[in-house]
Structure 1
Amino acid sequence: MKQMTSIEKAVNRLVGKPGAEGTLASSKLPGDAAEAFSSHSDASAEQKKLVKLDRPLMAANSLLLPEMGSSPLADQFRRIKQPLLRRLDSQSGSNALSNVVMVTSSLEGEGKTYTSINLAISIAMELDRTALLVDLDVVKKSVVSQLGIAVDPGLSDYLINREVEIANIIHSTDIDRFKLIPAGNAKQIEANAELLTSEKMKAFLLELSTRYKDRVIVLDTPPLLASSIAKGLAFMAGHLVMVVEAEKTSSTIISESLQYLDGSRFAGFVLNKTNLASSKDSVYGSYG
């Protein structure tokens, strides 16, 4: 891959760049967040009704299902998740966000939601892991559409309505150990987009990470170059995964995106839309 030379240079510059001062991982809880920490109920208060996923639609969307454990798709995501999980385990307890993974891309259409869903389901297929997928792309709400479900309340409802608690927006699905926080009412959030990078949002992610330490929290966010929100969210996650569309996204675009990331949080790239026959190229970059 000829692109790799310039991309690797950009990654090297990124990893050598110091983290942003005052990011969530090293900051103290603001007053409102500390209050929220003590007021929310625990996992026992989560939504009890199982959300039934549309499996035929998921199959049509090339999404992973537990019964596909021996398929090429399952193997691809197994090779993506394993080094990522080793990274998470090695940093467990080192900061409050060590179990939070943000999945993003430079532009729309590169496959970040596809990757987020499949990564979360693949993690849930581990016998000792639970995955919590959070849809932060609150305008498009692509996660629920690809899963073929309609479920509320969601993230935007929690951010806007003080009466909605975190446990109220965590939905269990009919895939074991795969839980979901949907985007919620996008129309509410469109007029209050700053809520997604607010102190309440920081407190929300910090509480998710701390209260549910046994879960891998996967964030599906807007693309970096299409949304200022994604740039802010990049400093609210413990690990960053960048999805790149094979043979289309230029190294210039990738390098521009990397400028907005904290090198200490950067986990690696996922090369999407490659031929399964050459699946060895489906992942590149460093998860070290």
Structure 2
Amino acid sequence: MTPRALEERKLIHRNDSVRAQADAFRGLRTKLLALGQERNFITLVAPVQQGCGGSFVARNLAAAFAFDETKTALLVDCDALHPAQDAALAVDVADGGIMDYLDGSVTDLSAIQYDTGLPRLKLIPSGTSRETTGEYFSSSRMRMMIDSLRGTHANRYLILDSPPVLNSPDARILSDLADLIVVVAGYGQATVERIDEAAASFDPDKLAGVVFNNIY
């Protein structure tokens, strides 16, 4: 995609027009790499509440990992109620997504890993909408899928785009699969109390920190 197309999709790139944003996500990537101690870790990006921009942060963090030619990134959209990544990345998801794989409708894991048009970045979209997803995310099939995705490539970094932390158990369930957790708070939107409540939902040893996303 051209720089203009990337900007329309709120994606960072290497040109000067979004240098400040790109540098911010590179900085976040560097901090996570230091915490991950050079292993190909799994990062859960979890917004405090709906509208904090968690999907934006997850998408651009994955892009920042893919900037490095020695690494690849796989973005997994785990928000079945409000999926955003396939539209943002202009990906045709005719073969389904993670929910279709977890319910057995799709059996080939490679079929739901889509090219995004960005080098070294693939997407697993949410797929068919589900009202309740916790039972799928806590299943042995989900855990085996994550282990397979991580183990296939030693240089692959998984980014899980989570549903909001508050008012849903899904983020906490998904955190069991992650090595590191980034909480996303909408700047001026999520109160300190709600941020604290969201952060307290997770294992403190996994909590990397809070990203304040400036909402326009």
TM-score by length of 1: 0.68
In 2, Cα distance between the equivalents of 1:70 and 1:267? Answer: 25
Q: Partner residue of 2:213?
A: 272
Aligned partners of 1:106 and 1:226 also within 8 Å = no
Aligned partners of 2:25 and 2:61 also within 8 Å = yes
Q: Partner residue of 2:29?
A: 81
The amino acid that maps onto 1:159 is L
Q: Quote how far apart the aligned CAs of 1:162 are.
A: 6.1
Q: Quote how far apart the aligned CAs of 1:175 are.
A: 1.1
Say which structure is richer in helix. Answer: 1
Alignment of 1:19-58 (within 5 A): 56=4, 58=6
Aligned partners of 2:9 and 2:88 also within 8 Å = yes
Alignment of 1:19-168 (within 5 A): 56=4, 58-67=6-15, 71-88=19-36, 90=37, 92=39, 99-151=41-93, 152-161=95-104, 164-168=107-111
Aligned partners of 2:62 and 2:73 also within 8 Å = yes
Q: Partner residue of 1:46?
A: none
The amino acid that maps onto 1:172 is D
Q: Quote how far apart the aligned CAs of 1:57 are.
A: 5.3
Q: Report the aligned-residue RMSD.
A: 2.3
The amino acid that maps onto 2:109 is I
Change (3 A) 1:228 1:70: closer
In 2, Cα distance between the equivalents of 1:241 and 1:60? Answer: 25
1:197 aligns with 2:138: yes
Gaps of 5+ in 2: none
The amino acid that maps onto 1:148 is A
Q: Quote how far apart the aligned CAs of 1:56 are.
A: 4.9
Q: Quote how far apart the aligned CAs of 1:199 are.
A: 2.0
Aligned partners of 1:117 and 1:133 also within 8 Å = yes
Q: Partner residue of 1:19?
A: none
Gaps of 5+ in 1: 1-52, 93-97, 276-288
Aligned partners of 1:100 and 1:216 also within 8 Å = yes
Give the length in aligned residue pairs.
215
TM-score by length of 2: 0.89
Identity, % of aligned pairs? 28
User: What do the CA deviations read for 1:46-87 (whole angstroms, capped 9, x no partner)?
Assistant: xxxxxxx69755412432134468721111111111111222
SS of equivalent residue, structure 1 residue 244: strand
Aligned partners of 2:12 and 2:18 also within 8 Å = no
The amino acid that maps onto 2:108 is E
User: What do the CA deviations read for 1:151-194 (whole angstroms, capped 9, x no partner)?
Assistant: 132111111126522222111222110111111111xx336652
1:211 aligns with 2:173: no
